[in-house]
Amino acid sequence: MKIWIIALALMSIHMTSRSQDSTVIHLWPKNVPGEKTAKHAPEVTPDHSRNVTRITNITDPTITVFTPDPAVSNGAGMVVCPGGGYKILAIDLEGYDIAHWLNKLGFTAFVLQYRVPDKQSGALQDVQRAIRIIRSHASEWKLDPNRLGVMGFSAGGSLSARISTEYYRDWYTPVDQADSLSSRPDFSVLIYPAYLDLGPHNSLTPELKVNKNTPPMFIFQTADDPYGNSSLTMAGALRKSKVPVEMHLYPKGGHGYGMRPGNPAAEEWPSLANTWLKKRIKQ
């Protein structure tokens, strides 16, 4: 029992220390749409395997803001959506780690804590609201509101694809003036996305309405990823609609590797994404 208490304390310290250079913004000032449970802090799960902090039972969605050194800031922003099968969020592996990397590239990063577990509709509301809030406060972070992207991993890749194709619809009753702004990302980055091929015969998931207005995408996955067909299906739909897309399919790497060393795929995609992003924000 004492060992377990110490482990929880260490996880708490880890999460706090990673957020000391950041600001946390609660997305919903009053009631969270469709949420019946009172707001409370997320729970850290007992599973800390692979040195990953996993959180769940999120009822008070937030964005955590990570700002770059002004000397390297490029005026662009990125909403980061961690994965976890819509059950948990791998908040450091696919959230805070990614934000610090984006800061080095000059991006202001916004790590989204969307609702889990099993609240896909709520998660879509959360990412839509996050994009609108960021655009409404863009001047405070010295951001160009027309250079705001979304980046997702696994289920977060699914969520990023959803807001990239379903932004045109209001998914909740407007809360304030921010909700008059567009929630369309200007570009999207999907890293080992999941659940994009849930249509008949593994075709594109029906709610993903790809058309000429869908933002350009960068997609990375590996052939041995059990969700690998998601990337192929999405890339095909984007190509059919003449949406700019760059897709990389590597032979090995599996799933859920983030950008930590030791996995060949994890060591490859950041450089490729960086090159694509540099070109994208200059356009």
What is the mean pLDDT of the segment spanning 156-161? 98
Say if 93 falls within a structural domain: yes
Per-residue confidence (pLDDT) for residue 22, from 0 to 100: 74
Whether 77 has a pLDDT exceeding 90, the answer reads yes
Per-residue confidence (pLDDT) for residue 9, from 0 to 100: 36
Q: How confident is the model at residue 21 (pLDDT cuts 50, 70, 90)?
A: low
pLDDT, one tens digit per residue, over 163-204 is: 999 999 999 999 999 999 999 999 999 999 999 999 999 999
pLDDT, one tens digit per residue, over 247-270 is: 999 999 999 999 999 999 999 999
* The two structure tokens encoding residue 100: 């610090």
DSSP 207: T
DSSP 254: -
Yes or no: say if 277 and 218 are a contact pair by the CB < 8 Å rule: yes
Burial class (CB in 10 A: 0-12, 13-18, 19+), 16: exposed
Say if 9 falls within a structural domain: no
Say if 16 falls within a structural domain: no
Say if 2 falls within a structural domain: no
Yes or no: say if 108 and 130 are a contact pair by the CB < 8 Å rule: no
- Going by their DSSP bridges, the two strands 108-113 and 77-81 should be labelled as parallel
Whether 52 has a pLDDT exceeding 50, the answer reads yes
Q: How confident is the model at residue 13 (pLDDT cuts 50, 70, 90)?
A: very low
What is the mean pLDDT of the segment spanning 217-245? 98
Nearest to 250 by CA among 274, 275, 220: 220
Structural domain boundaries, residue 83:
22-282
DSSP of 58-88: --S-EEEEEPPPTTT--S-EEEEE--STTT-
CATH of residue 204's domain is 3.40.50.1820
Say if 190 falls within a structural domain: yes
Q: What is the number of structural domains in the chain?
A: 1
End-to-end CA distance of the chain: give it in Å, rounded: 56
**CA distance readout (Å), 267 to 65, 158, 250, 264:** 25, 22, 12, 5
Say if 7 falls within a structural domain: no
Say if 14 falls within a structural domain: no
Say if 8 falls within a structural domain: no
